[in-house]
Structure 1
């Protein structure tokens, strides 16, 4: 049966007929040829006071069930990252509980957790205060036995006056970690407060700082996640890393080519978009394992327009698209987010997200998705 609905378009409504074929569902073993983390979102409790600025109230049942879904597809989980609304609604108390609950359920070696400084109040802080905040969060990762991801810190960016200040902070933290960490470079398009991270607004100059830091701490660095949405810059950095240090792509625009790699190296994955396209990501990685490069491209290619739309400027609202697709696909009962962030994207933007998700084959139950989008239209006063 052909499904259709009326969707917002050019200031009015148009009939959209679904054309996509959902990617086959199933369970997968972790990919053999690449490490692949999906940065997962959190599901808000619809009965909680999740107003802007209020402490996060989380629907733990659906939040954890979504992580089980990702693990069943062979993906690992990057927990408590910016996708989970760190610094945009998820407070430190809720973050700690999230890390502990997820780590308790994670298969061995299938979780890494964000370690940052977001428990600090906005304002100026000394480097020692920043280090102490990182140490507090690192202790939680150590306690639960999860791999730490040293997240880019707004407080550090504000406190640092030179690359040497970044080196001071990271050298101290790397010396304390009991296991190799994943470093984290988040571009200003994801968070304007991180402009000039590593001590320079020039990506090339910042890359020099990163390469020197890693070269002097190779035994303590598993890899670095890079989210600057510039494939050429990522490849240039990747080729400069020690051969046993991974580059985890965080490029939600160019991930198929970066994960596939070239005749020198490839990128592993630590991506928010993988939470939205998880079945497609799992199927594409299996094809890559099996040497089926044409199939790999066929699966991933239609997901790229969706990813570029979800992560369109202002990019930091991409989290709304991740939660929206989780709702359409039945992974949460309502389209609500901590901090009220479901309002971060307009109805026309969400309508285009729906179209592109259909065309990418990631609406796993098209009938449910149509029903839920009609509910969204009705709530917004649209008679479709």
Structure 2
């Protein structure tokens, strides 16, 4: 097969692109040591199910579990049923429960590290929702995960964002849940660029004021908090918060723009990782952290550097559409045999966006099977009338 493909540019015109010829990067098959690295994992929909995508597309459980085994085989941990899995944007709580239950079983079968998202998506956000209902919804999901031996990631709640009248409401809800859980949880602060319904989380649109509320909650419940994942796409805010965390509480970066520097850290500390982009760049992410484990900072930086333009492209505004790029990468690399998504989300990005993603993935050494990737890129372009 030719190593040249016609791809559309930003001006809509086709131009020949010659593949870099980079050897796909493979990670050593040894455990990661210096950092905990969670990959938030996507789900694979079942394109042959009779259900309509906008009314609740079915999940291909076999392909979905196979991808989790791929992540575990690289030494990465799995963050299950998070926004990368289209939680609340195609994946409802009923199917999230099934996903969590299956993933916990599969993790146990191979000794894979996993943590699972608990939210309040049984509730439709609105003025009718009470704080008591938010607490009850969180408690139900936490109990489901813990009863099956899982660790909880306490996800940000749209219902709480809509119901809360003050920072004290957040302290009340989180305090109640953290007193009830059996083992330390990972808190989750997702910026409104990922989900506009979470604007003003922790009771303030001012990030410094919101951070102060979150830190009070952590300090008051430090024995029940493993760490916090923040996704604000602001490296300075993350470092500032990281330095203020109580001893023993981890920072998990969710910054898909600045992860190399945040994971590397500084003289005061570093961030672990809980990232959506790790789904798309899993082999390179694992290889880079292995390099860091071996004291090879130059190797770490060289591996991660070309992934940053790719990540910034995948997570460009509207940021919440990043799942389309994540699933497209899995399709290009043969982890699923179709490019369909829950809710029809494969249509959330243009073919021009996907073409640039292809270029950047190739330049980062992330096309595992270049010939297959070219073939599949051509198939997607054909749907847009590009022959």
TM-score of the superposed pair, with normalisation by structure 1: 0.97
Q: Which residue of 2 aligns with 1:114?
A: 117
Q: Which residue of 1 aligns with 2:36?
A: 35
> Which of 177, 183, 186 is the equivalent residue of 2:187?
183
**What secondary structure is seen at the aligned counterpart in 2 of 1:89?**
coil
Establish whether residue 361 from structure 1 lines up as the match of residue 382 from structure 2.
no
CA separation of 1:283 and 1:26: change in aligned 2, threshold 3 A: closer
Establish whether residue 64 from structure 1 lines up as the match of residue 65 from structure 2.
yes
The answer on whether the counterparts of 1:151 and 1:183 sit within 8 Å (CA) in structure 2 is yes
CA separation of 1:192 and 1:273: change in aligned 2, threshold 3 A: same
- Give the Cα–Cα distance (whole angstroms) in 1 for the partners of residues 303 and 27 of structure 2: 15
- Give the Cα–Cα distance (whole angstroms) in 1 for the partners of residues 141 and 261 of structure 2: 34
- Give the Cα–Cα distance (whole angstroms) in 1 for the partners of residues 352 and 184 of structure 2: 43
User: Per-residue CA shift, 1:62-81, capped at 9, x if unaligned?
Assistant: 10000000000000000000
Q: Which residue of 2 aligns with 1:11?
A: 12
Q: Which residue of 1 aligns with 2:134?
A: 130
User: Per-residue CA shift, 1:206-246, capped at 9, x if unaligned?
Assistant: 11011111111111000000000000000000000012100
> Cα offset for 1:136?
1.1
> Cα offset for 1:50?
5.7
The answer on whether the counterparts of 1:186 and 1:228 sit within 8 Å (CA) in structure 2 is yes
> Which of 332, 340, 345 is the equivalent residue of 2:344?
340
Which runs of structure 2 are paired with 1:90-109 in the superposition (5 Å)? 90-106=91-107, 107-108=110-111
Establish whether residue 162 from structure 1 lines up as the match of residue 169 from structure 2.
no
Establish whether residue 208 from structure 1 lines up as the match of residue 243 from structure 2.
no
Moved over 2 A (4+): 22-30, 48-53, 121-124
> Which of 172, 176, 179 is the equivalent residue of 2:176?
172
**What secondary structure is seen at the aligned counterpart in 1 of 2:55?**
coil
CA separation of 1:210 and 1:290: change in aligned 2, threshold 3 A: same
The answer on whether the counterparts of 1:310 and 1:321 sit within 8 Å (CA) in structure 2 is yes
The answer on whether the counterparts of 1:37 and 1:271 sit within 8 Å (CA) in structure 2 is yes
Choose 360-369 or 28-37, whichever is displaced more.
28-37
Q: CA RMSD in A?
A: 1.2
User: Per-residue CA shift, 1:133-176, capped at 9, x if unaligned?
Assistant: 11111111112211100000000000001110000000011011
Which runs of structure 2 are paired with 1:64-83 in the superposition (5 Å)? 64-83=65-84
> Cα offset for 1:49?
4.6
The answer on whether the counterparts of 1:112 and 1:148 sit within 8 Å (CA) in structure 2 is yes
Unaligned 5+ segments in structure 2 are none
- Give the Cα–Cα distance (whole angstroms) in 2 for the partners of residues 40 and 144 of structure 1: 19
- Give the Cα–Cα distance (whole angstroms) in 2 for the partners of residues 22 and 168 of structure 1: 53
User: Per-residue CA shift, 1:330-365, capped at 9, x if unaligned?
Assistant: 000100001111011010000000000001111111
> Cα offset for 1:30?
2.9
Which runs of structure 2 are paired with 1:234-313 in the superposition (5 Å)? 234-313=238-317
User: How many aligned residue pairs are there?
Assistant: 383
The answer on whether the counterparts of 2:125 and 2:162 sit within 8 Å (CA) in structure 1 is no
**What secondary structure is seen at the aligned counterpart in 2 of 1:361?**
coil
Unaligned 5+ segments in structure 1 are none
The answer on whether the counterparts of 1:126 and 1:159 sit within 8 Å (CA) in structure 2 is yes
> Cα offset for 1:120?
1.2
**What secondary structure is seen at the aligned counterpart in 1 of 2:120?**
coil
The answer on whether the counterparts of 1:152 and 1:185 sit within 8 Å (CA) in structure 2 is yes
